[in-house]
């Protein structure tokens, strides 16, 4: 599970996040929607500690990251948080000098200290789980965008995170593969993970998210069960956004 | 009229006058003589009391010689190592510089009759009892003046020797223990070593030889005049007076005078049994061996300096772009200092300046460290550019997998940066390989030094130049080829990454 309480983030004096709060439990998928510049990506970057929060707190299991912590403690907590939160970036950021398997075992071996042999065995299982079994020895540059994305997912899973963050997971995908990806993410949730998925594709989130959170200008406008938000949004701003997006 | 042009007016007039005068009867009335005045005591050197003037026993001798020939002497400062080629190019008419009539020089120039009999003196440190004759020098390093009878003697006896451009440097390096002994003509030893309390003569002077005046081939008429002039100043005691004044007179000089009336056997009387310096010919197998040794030194120097540059460049690059403020300032100062000053000056500073602070390193080590420090500044910039070329996303991906900065740098960023840095580094290595030639300034026996010394000794500038160039090319061409291949591979890689169609789902 992951919980955000009154998150504040400013950049160059301008507020990017303004009192964002939500909570997602295990086996649950939260979809985050909103226009470009609404603060979705910044929210994800705060949740994995790449941005320091200016107010509020993030809790994940027994790790509590509070904006009021002193610098050293904050940094220590960020590292603990990152061991519980895995991220699949929009641009993936695979390590080009390592093979698919090398990408996956790098952190388990060097951060967790797992024996390489065991890590590689598990890495192969993960690759098989995302449907890339034969690609273990291939390098990122020789993989398609969709294949690269599945390596990135396997890389995040290899650290056994409780929470998985996805930033625009459909942007690397051929439209035909979107349904496969949705099924894969549902399976992770069923396995007990907590998922936070930022996407501008309502169609993708429709069959995936249990809950939806609509953001505008760094504020949470509305959140609730996915079906409720999609079919009967209460706030006029949400209605306007959904109407605009569904025209695409 | 400005101050500067007012001052320049008369100067221009004087120059014009000089030019007019030299165009006219100069060839008849002037005897232009070339010699190396740097560290040139007691032959010809700058008067310490009046630095605008040259003095020395040969300076006085040429004045007397020119008077005897009915000419006016005009001194042309030259460089000892290249003095024969300067004569051949016509920069002056005669060489008067303690020139020994060696066989290899005899093929290039004419010699006058001898005017002085010299001997060689071995000098060691006063507190070093090991060496008392040349025979004790096996396995040790002996310094001498490059391209002299002494250097030929050392080469022929197979001793490890180092040729210097002036006697001051050789005796200083003896004191600094960079050398074990110095072998030098007695006149130089007298002026530069005998008064030094930290040095002592090892055994009596040995291996006598003669000094002669050198002339261009074909200048037979001038040679006759010079010979006649020399005979006159030897007979009338002018030369003896000059030599006595400079404390250089001994019974051997009297023998020289006696020979004037003996049948013309040139130097036979002055040569005792043993090594005959005047017959020292250029030894090709030995020269090639020394070239090969110089090539090895060059290669080792280049590799050593590059390893140092690569090891030092990385912390500099990281310090400059990611360190705390004071580290950034220090690294930037280092880089700007070493890039902004000539590597030659840096080497001279390390070699001559550091011993003043109590740190005397041997020449090869100085060259290795100097070139390494210099190239570290350049390599740091190659590293920096390569590190900055790695996208931020790579750091963020590493961080979000729980890596600390040092681990992320070592496992993720550095391996990628090294691939980018490899082609420019290979190119820099080729430059460094050629830059090792500056080490000749501090008497390191590398290819450039070897070329200069061997070519000066033999006059074979063309042939030796070709051989030395081949040595350099044999090293630098494969490296340059490797650099180009690495570059092409990098470009292909980047094309693959950049032209991959980004599939968007909207």
pLDDT digits (tens, 9 = 90+) for A65-81: 999 999 999 999 999 99
Q: How would you classify residue B370: left for phi > 0, otherwise alpha for psi between -120 and 50, otherwise beta? A: alpha
Q: CB B401 to CB A106 under 8 A?
A: yes
What is the distance between the terminal CA atoms of chain B, rounded to a whole angstrom? 80
Contact criterion met (CB < 8 Å) for B403 and A95: no
Interchain contact, B403 vs A111, CB within 8 Å: yes
- Of A210, A246, A238, A206, the C-alpha closest to A222 is A238
CB contact under 8 Å between A82 and B401, yes or no, is yes
pLDDT value for B258: 85
Report which of residues B352 and B203 the model is more confident about.
Answer: B203
Contacts of B402 in chain A (CB under 8 A): 79, 82-83, 107, 111-112, 159
Q: Is pLDDT above 90 for A150?
A: yes
Best of B402, B409, B501 to mutate (most A CBs within 10 Å, chain A): B402
Res. B100: pLDDT tops 60 = yes
3-class SS at A117?
helix
| Predicted pLDDT of residue B103 | 80
Residue with the bigger pLDDT between A218 and B26: it is A218
The C-alpha of B469 sits at a distance from chain A's nearest C-alpha, in angstroms, of 39
| Per-residue confidence (pLDDT) for residue B501, from 0 to 100 | 41
Q: Is A37 helix (H, G, I), strand (E, B) or coil?
A: coil
Q: What was the pLDDT predicted at B503?
A: 40
pLDDT in tens, B284-301: 887 888 888 899 999 999
Residue carrying structure tokens 């040569």: B271
* pLDDT > 90? residue B161: no
pLDDT at B444: 82
Q: Any residues with CB less than 8 A from the CB of B58 and at least 6 apart, and which?
A: B35, B43, B44, B96, B97, B98
What percentage of chain B reaches a pLDDT higher than 70?
87
B489 touches chain A (CB under 8 A): no
Residue B361 is predicted with a pLDDT of: 83
Is the pLDDT score of B401 beyond 60?
yes
Q: What pLDDT is attached to residue A247?
A: 62
Mean of pLDDT over chain B: 84
Report d(CA B181, CA B202) in Å as an integer. 9
**Which pLDDT score is estimated for B139?**
87
Work out the average pLDDT over B240-260.
89
End-to-end CA separation in angstroms for chain A? 33
As a whole number, mean pLDDT of residues A124-128 equals: 94
Q: Which of A111, A141, A170 sits opposite B401 (nearest CB)?
A: A111
User: pLDDT band at residue B493, thresholds of 50, 70 and 90?
Assistant: low
This model of the complex carries an ipTM of 0.94
pLDDT value for B33 = 95
| Under 8 Å between Cβ of B458 and B282 | yes
- B141 phi and psi angles, rounded to 5 deg: -105, 125
Per-residue confidence (pLDDT) for residue A197, from 0 to 100: 96
pLDDT at B440 over 50: yes
- Tally DSSP H helices, then E strands, for chain B: 20, 12
What integer pLDDT is reported at residue B332 of this predicted model? 94
Residues of A in contact with B399 (CB under 8 A): 49-50, 82
Q: According to the model, what pLDDT value does residue B28 have?
A: 61
Rg of the Cα atoms in chain A:
18
DSSP H helices, A24-177, are: 40-47, 71-84, 100-110, 116-129, 145-157
Cβ <8 Å between B502 and A145? yes
At residue A170, the pLDDT reads 87
pLDDT of residue B480: 85
pLDDT in tens, A6-58: 999 999 889 999 999 999 999 999 999 998 889 999 999 999 999 999 999 99
Over residues B360-375, the mean pLDDT reads 91
Q: Give the mean pLDDT of B462-476.
A: 91
Mean pLDDT for B35-44 is 86
Task: Give yes or no for residue B498 having a pLDDT over 50.
Answer: no
Query: Which residues, in sequence order, are CB contacts of A24 under 8 Å at separation 6+?
Result: A1, A2, A3, A30, A163, A194, A195, A196, A211
- The per-residue pLDDT for range A103-115, each reduced to its tens digit, is 999 999 999 999 9
Confidence of residue B492 (pLDDT cuts 50, 70, 90): low
Using the Cβ of B404 and the Cβ atoms of chain A, whether some distance falls under 8 Å is answered with: yes
Contact B404 A178 (CB under 8 A): no
pLDDT-derived band at A166 (thresholds 50, 70, 90) equals very high
B79 contacts: CB under 8 Å, gap ≥ 6: B36, B86, B165
Largest CA distance in chain B: 113
Nearest to B402 among A95, A159, A178 (CB): A159
Q: Which residues, listed in sequence order, are joined to residue A182 by a DSSP beta bridge? A: none
The overall average pLDDT reported for chain A is 92
- pLDDT at residue number B217: 92
**Looking at the predicted structure, is the pLDDT value of residue B277 above 50?**
no
Whole-number pLDDT of residue B262: 67
Ordered DSSP codes for B73-123: EEEEE--GGGHHHHHHTTS-SEEEEEE---HHHHTTEEE----EEEEEEEE
Which residues from chain B sit within 8 angstroms of residue A112, using beta carbons?
402
Q: Residue B262 has what DSSP assignment?
A: S
Q: Are B206 and B276 in contact (CB under 8 A)?
A: no
Residues of chain B found within 8 Å of residue A168, distances taken between Cβ atoms: none
Number of A to B CB contacts under 8 A, please give it: 82
Average pLDDT, integer, range B476-493: 81
Which residues, in sequence order, are CB contacts of A26 under 8 Å at separation 6+?
Answer: A1, A162, A192, A193, A194
Residues B505, A97: C-beta atoms closer than 8 Å = no
Q: For residue B389, list chain A residues with Cβ-Cβ distance below 8 A.
A: none
In the predicted structure, residue A244 carries a pLDDT above the cut 80: yes
Distance CA A237, CA B47 (A): 97
Place of tokens 């090869």: B364
When mean pLDDT is compared across A93-97, B1-5, B150-154, the lowest value belongs to B1-5
Structure tokens at A57: 């707190």
Q: What is the 3-state secondary structure (H, E, C) of B150-167?
A: HHHHHHHCCCEEEEECCH
Name residue, tokens 């590292």: A79
Alpha carbon distance B464, B472 (integer Å): 12
Is the pLDDT higher at B164 or at B337?
B337
Contact across the interface for B500 and A145, Cβ inside 8 Å:
yes
Q: Which stretch of A199-213, B2-16, B47-61 has the lowest confidence by average pLDDT?
A: B2-16
Look up tokens 């705060």; give the residue.
A46
Confidence of residue A128 (pLDDT cuts 50, 70, 90): very high
Residue B281, pLDDT score:
59
């Amino acid at each position: 599970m992951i919980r955000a309480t009154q998150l504040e983030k400013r950049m160059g004096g301008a507020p990017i996040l303004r009192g964002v709060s939500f909570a997602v439990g295990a086996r649950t998928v939260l979809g985050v929607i909103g226009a470009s510049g609404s603060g979705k990506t910044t929210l994800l970057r705060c949740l994995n500690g790449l941005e320091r929060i200016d107010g509020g707190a993030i809790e994940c299991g027994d790790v509590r990251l509070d904006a009021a912590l002193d610098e050293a403690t904050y940094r220590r907590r960020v590292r603990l948080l990152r061991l519980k939160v895995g991220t699949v970036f929009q641009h993936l950021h695979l390590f080009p000098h390592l093979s698919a398997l090398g990408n996956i075992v790098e952190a388990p071996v060097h951060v967790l200290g797992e024996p390489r042999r065991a890590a590689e065995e598990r890495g192969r299982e993960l690759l098989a789980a995302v449907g890339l079994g034969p690609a273990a020895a291939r390098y990122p540059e020789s993989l398609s965008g969709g294949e690269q994305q599945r390596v990135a997912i396997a890389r995040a899973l290899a650290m056994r995170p409780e929470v998985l963050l996805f930033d625009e997971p459909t942007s690397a995908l051929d439209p035909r593969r979107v349904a496969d990806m949705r099924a894969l993410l549902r399976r992770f949730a069923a396995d007990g993970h907590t998922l936070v998925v930022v996407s501008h594709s309502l169609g993708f989130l429709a069959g995936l998210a249990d809950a939806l959170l609509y953001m505008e200008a760094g504020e949470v406008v509305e959140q609730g069960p996915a079906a409720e938000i999609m079919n009967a949004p209460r706030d006029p701003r949400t209605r306007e956004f959904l109407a605009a997006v569904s025209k695409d | 009229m400005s101050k500067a042009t007012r001052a320049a007016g008369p100067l221009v007039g004087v120059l014009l006058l000089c030019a007019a005068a030299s165009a006219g009867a100069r060839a008849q009335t002037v005897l232009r003589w070339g010699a190396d005045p740097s560290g040139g005591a007691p032959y010809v050197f700058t008067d310490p009391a009046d630095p605008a003037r040259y003095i020395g026993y040969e300076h006085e001798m040429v004045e007397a010689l020119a008077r005897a020939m009915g000419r006016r002497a005009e001194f042309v400062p030259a460089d000892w190592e290249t003095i024969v080629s300067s004569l051949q190019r016509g920069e002056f008419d005669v060489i008067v510089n303690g020139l020994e009539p060696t066989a290899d020089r005899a093929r290039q120039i004419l010699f006058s009759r001898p005017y002085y009999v010299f001997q060689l003196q071995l000098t060691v440190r006063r507190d070093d009892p090991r060496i008392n004759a040349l025979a004790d020098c096996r396995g040790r390093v002996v310094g001498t003046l490059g391209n002299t009878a002494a250097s030929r003697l050392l080469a022929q006896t197979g001793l490890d020797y180092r040729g210097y451009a002036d006697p001051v440097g050789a005796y200083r390096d003896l004191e600094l223990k960079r050398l074990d002994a110095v072998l030098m003509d007695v006149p130089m030893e007298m002026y530069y070593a005998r008064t030094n309390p930290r040095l002592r003569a090892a055994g009596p002077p040995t291996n006598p030889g003669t000094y002669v005046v050198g002339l261009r081939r074909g200048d037979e008429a001038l040679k006759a005049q010079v010979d006649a002039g020399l005979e006159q100043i030897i007979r009338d005691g002018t030369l003896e007076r000059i030599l006595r004044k400079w404390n250089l007179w001994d019974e051997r000089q009297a023998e020289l005078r006696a020979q004037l009336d003996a049948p013309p056997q040139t130097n036979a009387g002055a040569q005792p049994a043993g090594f005959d310096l005047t017959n020292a010919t250029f030894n090709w197998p030995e020269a090639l061996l020394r070239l090969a040794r110089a090539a090895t030194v060059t290669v080792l120097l280049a590799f050593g300096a590059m390893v140092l540059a690569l090891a030092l460049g990385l912390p500099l690059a990281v310090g400059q772009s990611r360190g705390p403020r004071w580290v950034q300032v220090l690294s930037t100062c280092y880089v700007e200092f070493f890039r902004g000053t000539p590597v030659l000056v840096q080497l001279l500073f390390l070699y001559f300046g550091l011993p003043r602070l109590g740190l005397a390193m041997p020449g090869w080590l100085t060259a290795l460290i100097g070139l390494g420090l210099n190239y570290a500044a350049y390599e740091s910039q190659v590293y920096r550019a390569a590190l900055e070329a790695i996208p931020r996303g790579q750091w963020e991906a590493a961080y979000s997998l729980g890596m600390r900065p040092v681990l992320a740098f070592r496992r993720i960023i550095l391996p990628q940066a090294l691939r980018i840095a490899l082609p420019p580094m290979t190119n820099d290595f080729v430059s460094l390989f050629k830059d090792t030639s500056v080490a000749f300034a501090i008497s390191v026996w590398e290819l450039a030094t070897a070329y200069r010394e061997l070519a000066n000794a033999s006059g074979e500038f063309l042939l030796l130049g070709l051989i030395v160039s081949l040595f350099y090319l044999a090293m630098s061409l494969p490296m340059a080829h490797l650099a180009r291949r690495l570059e092409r591979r990098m470009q292909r890689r980047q094309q693959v990454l950049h032209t991959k169609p980004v599939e968007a789902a909207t």
